[in-house]
Amino acid sequence: MRSSGDYYVTVVEDTKLGAIVATATLVIEHKFTHSCAKRGRIEDVVVSGDCRGKQLGKLLMSTLTLLSKRLNCYKITLECLPKNVTFYTKFGYSVSEENYMYQRFFN
C-alpha cells in the first residue's frame, strides 16, 4: 500500500506473473462542515477479469474499510454502478438518496 497521508492506494500483485491484478484507493477528506473531521472515500476498485471470483474485491474492501476506521473517519462513501450495489452492501454499505453530479472535461 502506498500513502501520502490522505491518499492510500492498495494493490494486489500476482507474484508469479509479476503483475498487479487488483487495486482500490482510499481518499481522506477533511470536512469543514464537520469540524474538519475525516471522511473516507473509496475510489477505483478494480479486479482483473481473470482474477474475479477469488475474493480479491473482498480483500480490498475489507482493508480500506478497516483502514478508514483506524484513521478515525466519521464515515466512508463510494460511488458505484447499479449493477455493483449488491457487492458493496455485503460490506455494510447502503444506498444513499443523495444526488451526485459531475462535469467531464476530457473524453
DSSP readout, 41-101? EEEEEEE-GGGTTSSHHHHHHHHHHHHHHHTTEEEEEE---GGGHHHHHTTT-----PPP-
CA pair distance 22, 103, nearest whole angstrom: 27
pTM: 0.84
Dump pLDDT digits (tens) for 23-71.
999 999 998 888 889 999 999 999 999 999 999 999 999 999 999 999 9
| CA nearest neighbour of 75 among 33, 46, 47, 23 | 33
- Domain borders along the chain are 7-91
pLDDT level of residue 105 (50, 70, 90 thresholds): confident
The CATH superfamily of 7-91 is Gcn5-related N-acetyltransferase (GNAT) (3.40.630.30)
* Residue of higher predicted confidence among 24 and 95: 24
